Structure 1
Amino acid sequence: MSIVDIVKENCLYRSQQKVDNYTKSLLEFGASSSDVKKVTDCLKQKNEELASLLHEVELIENTLKSCEIKDLKEHSVFFEDLEKFVKKMKTEENRQQESGSNTKPNPINTGAVQPRQKRHSLLVSQLKDCLRRVEASDFLSIPSANRGRIGRIELNLLLKKVYDIFSEKYVHKKRSFAPKNEKKQEYESLKGRWYLPLTDLLAKFSPKEKVCWKLALPSLIYLKRLEEIKEHDNIFIAAVLS
């Protein structure tokens, strides 16, 4: 029996007892049947309203239980998908490493592209350093209040996603810092930073990644991987330069 059922039965029992006690007392003092009816009818009406209200509470409780079961199933599917994604990423990484080791550099025009390659490598290195992996020691250092219900694998998956989004915005377009936007450049806190509006970041996330993001952000802020910057009505996510 649930708490709602216990409260319901107790309330209805006590309410009915009051009606019976009032009826008994009024009859003992010689009240007429019409007078007794006037008093007890009001109490009975309130008793029926209470029963109806408690029934609604019971329906809401059942709805909440079904939602909890659904959330648990979605949560389970989410982490199964994450596990598959990790395996896929590892396979792709191994394949890239194997193909990279078998590729020989072309000596033709290497001097012309060398400065560009160096600059590109520097940008990649800077961004990778800002959004570096969360090691086991880092994860254990996170206070429980910040960690919440998030694991190290999920943190690293989300960091990889953020890195890809930042990389697409800056590195692949050969931009070392923020895109030219006069309104955003007014904010001193954003000058010379790798940053994106939160809305742009969330637009690239899947629904499951958005859920994971809410759980992961406090940990990533604590580990100084990311910083949440609020300017007027705008929220920006910036990489923390180490």
Structure 2
Amino acid sequence: MRVETEDGLHGWGEGFGFNLVATTKDAVDRLIGPACIGHDVGDIAGLQRLLLRRFHNFGRNGPVRYGISAIDIALWDIAGRRAGKPLHALLGSAGRGAARSRVPADACLLRYGEATAVAHNVAEAIRQGYRQIKLHEVDLACIRAARDAAPPEVPLMLDINCAWESAQDAIGFPPRRPVPERHVRCAPHHSDQPGRHPHGRHTVANEVATLAKVRDKHIASPGRGGSKWLSRNTAQAAV
């Protein structure tokens, strides 16, 4: 999406939407965008607070929140253009040492549900240079296919996307079998706040005890914005 200012600057933002991105666009066009008209584009935090409070009845996830995020991204783009600086400079990279020219990225794959499709897309991600793979599979054969398609040093991350109804479902998936420890790898995670997943059933505040039970059986904790972990049980059965 494109946001324009009265003095001729513009910025670009992007709104998420799964396969219903038109719904996010509709939320921006009819609800969020009109609420932004006339506000100071330099007060990014203030506008964010206003939008979140005004539209809190629409929930903490979904098209309205995605649209608000798109506005936020566009305003930061405008701020960088106005200052004539890259965004990392505005966010304070100068105080953290030399700016990095490269950052690691993972290939976040769709849920294909078919082993050959999983293997094909993992191999393609490796060909493109990715060295961390995130899966959304729930079928063990698909997870095995991913493990076989990636070099052993490339970690797999598994986001089960709310497929489990209980802690026992999570702990019991899949059946255990012995495997050399060198084959059990975990991806690095980027959060010291476990339980911060916007749509994971077992990471909401009132189910911290359930999450703790599951974490006891796993080798990594939830990552940035989602449950980015591959359980020891899953790793053992998938190799």
Give the TM-score range, shorter chain: under 0.3
TM norm structure 1: 0.20
TM norm structure 2: 0.20
The answer to which structure, 1 or 2, has the higher relative contact order (CA under 8 A, 6+ apart) is 1
